[in-house]
Chains A and B, each alone.
Chain A
Amino acid sequence: MAEPRIVYNEGYLDEQTKRVVRRALLKGVAVPGFQVPFASREVPMPRGWGTGGVQVTAAVIGPEDTLKVIDQGADDTTNAVSIRQFFEKVVNVHTTTHTEAATIIQTRHRIPETPLAEGQIMVYQVPIPEPLRFLEPRETETRRLHALEEYGLMYVKLYEDIARYGHFVTTYDYPVMVNGRYVTAPSPIPSFDNPKMHQSPALQLFGAGREKRIYAIPPYTDVESLGFEDYPFEPQRFEQPCQICGAEDVYLDEVVMDDAGAVMYVCSDTDYCQKTAEAAAAAGQEIPV
């Protein structure tokens, strides 16, 4: 094959831009949960498709890394595949679908079921980094509320949930208190995944490209989901196991099977599902379908 006509810098972004992002990341790690403004650059994908996550990944990735990209838990969706191929091309990095083999996991809307380990980096794609945004539209005001630690407004939202529905109906992007100081948006992960952020051994980095914000949760940091004394936070629960691999206590996707409304519940984490199914097959178990 002939030489490619355009030679990209390693990681696509130029070195100065990577420094900009890294500086924001360092500040974010130093002040867990604080949204650091940064000069978000253009990357070859539309804003809202994970440009923040791509910039964060580009700033921390190197050729010795192994990258996994998931979209709603799945390794094989369009966005996940194209971001993975993008980094294969611009960093010449190894990619994987196995959670435990990855050093960097870029994600949209899920945390893998396989527990994360020390040394791993989670990169979240964040559409709206401001947890107070839909309660207080003024950016100047929300920054002031964060600075002065005035979070009464956040509880108004929770109050309204209980008053109207009798329980918390916020099932994704459920607000968390990071390190006892900043109320933070965990990106739109399901509240099922919220407990996984607490004291996680992995470094968690959040990039919001359109909103030009970066924030971070260092390893082993307290991440508390908000709640009332008499109505504590309850993560989502699923009654039945996955219908492919039989795993319990996992986040399930509802898959519509036919026009008659038949549905099937399967793991949203494709890697975990495959692994569990293989282990079950090796043990000679029949999978309940």
Chain B
Amino acid sequence: MSLHGMSLHSMSLHSDADESALLTVEGAGHRYGQQFGCQDVSFDLWPGEVLAIVGESGSGKSTLLGMLSQRLTTDEGTIRYRPADSSGITATAGAVDLASLSERDIRRLWRTEWGFVHQNAADGLRMHISAGGNICEPLMANGARHYGQLRAQAEHWLERVEIPSHRIDDTPATFSGGMRQRLQIARNLVFAPRLVFMDEPTSGLDVSVQARLLDLIRSLVADLGLSVIIVTHDLAVARLISHRTLVMKDGVVIESGLTDRVLDDPQAAYTQLLVSSILQG
């Protein structure tokens, strides 16, 4: 791993001495039966950083994302997370081993600090609840009980993700694919998370919609100072929105570094193959 590039990068973005990594992954892996879905993964994720995980189908990207977001167990290594001060989770030296947390704490993190954008919007939305209801659900889960304020928040977020606010009472079942995905993003950002996991958020959309969505994600991430881990098989997506890239093959990380470095000067043979397979216009 090119650790040198990583630390340079983090230095340049975060010169404040008190900043520390949001997520620290050391030798982590998840096993399906006897086989590893992903293995020996190590990296740091810094506040405000966008990390892309690229690789072909079956390379363990989604397994890694599932493990990081605690939907799958961590069978080897550790994942340490630095929770917000308001989380009520006691962390030693600012960070906590996620495997040591109770289900209650993990679900609290899902509700208050982590977003998860699914590839298929139907997985992340309630398709027969109105758009407003979908956006407000995380807020209500966090204890918001004022209808007027919820409604105003929902309208605000619909506007932010470029959905006309008169659609607020329509169900996502009546929305186009692009609108559903934008609604899912709104639902995941409305409670001001610190870390958002995205699993192929743009695949399955046509190219022009993809470009708009990426643009939207990029501006929201910059505005809100989010940390994002985005899984994609599309190198153009990684190039467009990520600061740093991990390349996976057969469940292991074979190359990592600044996105521009990885894509312009790929060192692993597989990465070279991947980059050269992009059609040049």
Contacts and interface: CB of A to CB of B under 8 A. Distances in A.
Partners in one complex: yes
Interface of A: 144, 148, 150-153, 155-156, 159-160, 162-164, 228-231
Interface string B82-104: 00000000000000000000011
Contacts of A153: 137, 141
Closest 5 CB pairs of A and B: A152-B141, A155-B140, A228-B147, A152-B140, A229-B146
Contact of B142 (A152, A228, A231): A152
A228 B146 CA distance: 5
B134 to A, nearest CB: 8
Contacts of B137: 152-153, 156
A109 B256 CA distance: 64
B107 A229 contact: no
Nearest to B102: A148
17 contacts: A144-B103, A150-B107, A152-B137, A152-B138, A152-B140, A152-B141, A153-B137, A159-B133, A160-B129, A162-B147, A163-B132, A164-B130, A228-B146, A228-B150, A229-B146, A230-B146, A230-B148
A148 B169 CA distance: 29
Q: Is the interface of B mostly helix, strand, loop or mixed?
A: helix
Contacts of A160: 129-130, 133
Contact of A164 (B104, B150, B151, B169): B169
Contacts of B139: 152
Given A148-B103, A155-B140, 18 more contacts: A150-B107, A150-B111, A150-B141, A152-B140, A153-B137, A155-B145, A156-B126, A160-B129, A160-B130, A160-B133, A162-B147, A163-B132, A163-B151, A164-B130, A228-B145, A228-B150, A229-B146, A229-B147
Contacts of B147: 159, 162, 228-231
B262 to A, nearest CB: 40
Given A148-B104, A163-B169, A156 B133 contact: yes
Interface of B: 103-104, 107, 111, 126, 129-130, 132-133, 136-142, 145-148, 150-151, 168-169
A159 B146 contact: no
A148 B108 CA distance: 10
A163 B104 contact: no
A229 B146 CA distance: 5
A159 B142 contact: no
Contacts of B141: 150-153
A162 B146 CA distance: 12
Nearest to A155: B140
A135 B191 CA distance: 21
Contacts of A159: 132-133, 136, 140, 147, 150
B103 to A, nearest CB: 7
Contacts of A148: 103-104, 107
A230 B147 CA distance: 6
Which of the listed residues B132, B141, B151 has the most CB atoms from chain A within 10 Å of its own CB?
Answer: B141
A156 B130 CA distance: 9
A160 B134 CA distance: 10
B180 to A, nearest CB: 18
Nearest to A149: B104
Nearest to A150: B141
A86 to B, nearest CB: 42
Contacts of B151: 163
Nearest to B103: A148
Contact of B130 (A151, A163, A228): A163
A151 B169 CA distance: 22
A189 B110 CA distance: 36
Contacts of A152: 111, 137-142
A156 B146 contact: no
A228 B151 CA distance: 12
A160 B131 CA distance: 10
A152 B140 CA distance: 5
Contacts of B140: 152, 155-156, 159
Nearest to A154: B140
B103, B132, B147, B148: residue with the most chain A Cβ atoms closer than 10 Å: B147
- The interface centre, meaning the residue of B107, B145, B151 with most chain A CB atoms within 10 A of its CB, is B145
Nearest to B171: A160
B181 to A, nearest CB: 21
B103 A156 contact: no
B273 to A, nearest CB: 43
Contacts of A144: 103
Contacts of A230: 146-148
Contacts of B107: 148, 150
Contacts of A156: 126, 129, 133, 136-137, 140
